Structure 1
Amino acid sequence: MILFCPPGVYRAQSDTELLAGRLARHAAGRDVLDLGTGTGALALAAWREGAASVTAVDLSRRCVAATRLNCLLHGAPARVHRGDLFEPVATRRFGMIVANPPYVPSETSVLPRHTPGRSWDAGPDGRAVLDRVCDGAADHLEPGGVVLIVHSQVCGPEATVERLERTGLTADVVERARIPFGPVMRSRANLLERRGLIEPGDRLEELVVVEGRRG
């Protein structure tokens, strides 16, 4: 799928592809929420898989504009909102939530707001946004609903599973893929080694998809 991706907007990569593959098992007939939509790649994937409705949210004005344009170009009737995670949909529940949040560990806990780094910088442990997604998902899922979250192994998949289960969901790691480091992870390799998040010299990253299910 060809997507318009202006400067400053996260381009869909291997993590998006991995999540989209799992999304295809659940999207049909569900109301889908795509958090941190970027170019709208996952929103469009849900629409192509037969979602009943698609809602996309991003904090970035550029991402919102890019997603609206991509949905228009592909004829997808998605609702696109600018806002912080669940805030624009505070009163709604969905059959499926998908999220590819920033998850690369960064030097400090100060998150960038107006630079490209806002798409990947996620605090010292990589969980600054990830934990907020985990904490809010259950309150926005319908009975029988599913949340799918993709991130790197360096953020601790076990912590994601535990955090989702703490909110009453049943959670598991359902997909894994090992890929070479991209430019951002390569630039942080020394930092990750110092913190013991990767082995010295390791330049392969394991991506995981964690699935949480509401009973």
Structure 2
Amino acid sequence: MTAFALDGVYPPQEDSQLLIDVLAGGAPLKGRSVVDLGTGSGVVAVAAAQLGARSVTAFDICPTAVRCARGNALAAGVEVHVRLGSWSQALECEPFDVVVCNPPYVPSGAEVDTGSIPPWAGPMTAWDGGEDGRLVLDPLCATVPQMLSDDGALLLVQSEFSDIGKSVTLLREAGLETKIAAVQSIPFGPVLSAHARELEASGRLTAGRRHELLAVIRAEKR
């Protein structure tokens, strides 16, 4: 993955790269509009622009992330319209051909020692998915069809610990043709390492295991 300026923003990791790989390996982006929800450093949005998308829009609630993503797009020599605001503000735009999202999906309760997470891992809002990891996933799965043009597609990356199967079910119930496009097993980083004991206590994680399964879900509007 190309080195990106971070400036206190959540650093791109394996989940971002897996999402980019699926984006690059799918239908050509030439002539298509793309929106990146929760862009962070802008790494996925920049990749979409480099892959030839007609237009790329990106949203983030963090002003620092917005500045960072704009700077990274400028450094890469591509045009990305980075906007300050929640992912849900994409509903106020014209429908997009492709929606990409790497949302906060880590289940996080009161017992987690967040003080053990190094500052370079980025702000808590970038990874904290609430008690079950689905604080963003549930409303996103319910409303994403409204963001998509006809024949548009969602690419969503998440962890096994936030219930991949539930996302697939919700997207299908919303009327989208849904499948798992890619999976990858990776070792825990600092965020999940800090959550390991709580995940074990909740039964989501087998005692002593320190790797997670990531999945990219592809959901198409037909």
Q: TM-score normalised to the size of structure 2?
A: 0.91
Q: Tell me the equivalent position of 1:192.
A: 199
Partner amino acid, structure 2, of 1:6: D
Asked whether the equivalents of residues 71 and 78 of structure 1 are also in contact (C-alpha less than 8 Å), the reply is: yes
- Secondary structure at 2:57 match in 1: strand
- Secondary structure at 1:86 match in 2: helix
Asked whether the equivalents of residues 143 and 214 of structure 1 are also in contact (C-alpha less than 8 Å), the reply is: yes
- Secondary structure at 1:6 match in 2: coil
Asked whether the equivalents of residues 96 and 145 of structure 1 are also in contact (C-alpha less than 8 Å), the reply is: yes
How many corresponding residue pairs? 208
TM superposition shift of 1:88: 4.9
Q: Tell me the equivalent position of 1:15.
A: 15
Deviations 1:66-105 (A, max 9, x none): 0111111111111111111121551310110000000100
Match of 1:32 among 31, 34, 47: 34
TM superposition shift of 1:136: 1.8
The more displaced of 33-42 and 167-176 is 167-176
Using the alignment, how far apart are the partners of 2:200 and 2:54 within structure 1? 44
The more displaced of 174-183 and 26-35 is 26-35
Q: Tell me the equivalent position of 1:112.
A: none
Using the alignment, how far apart are the partners of 1:90 and 1:98 within structure 2? 17
Match of 2:124 among 101, 117, 126: 117
Asked whether the equivalents of residues 200 and 206 of structure 2 are also in contact (C-alpha less than 8 Å), the reply is: yes
Asked whether the equivalents of residues 90 and 147 of structure 2 are also in contact (C-alpha less than 8 Å), the reply is: no
- Secondary structure at 2:5 match in 1: coil
Asked whether the equivalents of residues 91 and 146 of structure 2 are also in contact (C-alpha less than 8 Å), the reply is: no
- Secondary structure at 1:210 match in 2: strand
- Secondary structure at 1:188 match in 2: helix
Gaps of 5+ in 2: 111-121
Q: Tell me the equivalent position of 1:132.
A: 139
The alignment-based identity, stated in percent, is 38
Q: Tell me the equivalent position of 2:79.
A: 77
Deviations 1:105-163 (A, max 9, x none): 0005xxxxxx8111111111101011122122100101100000001011111100111
Q: Tell me the equivalent position of 2:166.
A: 159
Q: Tell me the equivalent position of 1:2.
A: 3
The more displaced of 18-27 and 51-60 is 18-27
Q: CA RMSD in A?
A: 1.2
Gaps of 5+ in 1: 109-114
Using the alignment, how far apart are the partners of 2:196 and 2:91 within structure 1? 37
Using the alignment, how far apart are the partners of 2:142 and 2:6 within structure 1? 30
Runs of 4+ in 1 over 4 A off after TM superposition: none
Asked whether the equivalents of residues 6 and 66 of structure 1 are also in contact (C-alpha less than 8 Å), the reply is: yes
- Secondary structure at 1:205 match in 2: strand
Partner amino acid, structure 2, of 1:23: L
Using the alignment, how far apart are the partners of 1:98 and 1:39 within structure 2? 14
Asked whether the equivalents of residues 82 and 88 of structure 1 are also in contact (C-alpha less than 8 Å), the reply is: no
TM superposition shift of 1:3: 1.2
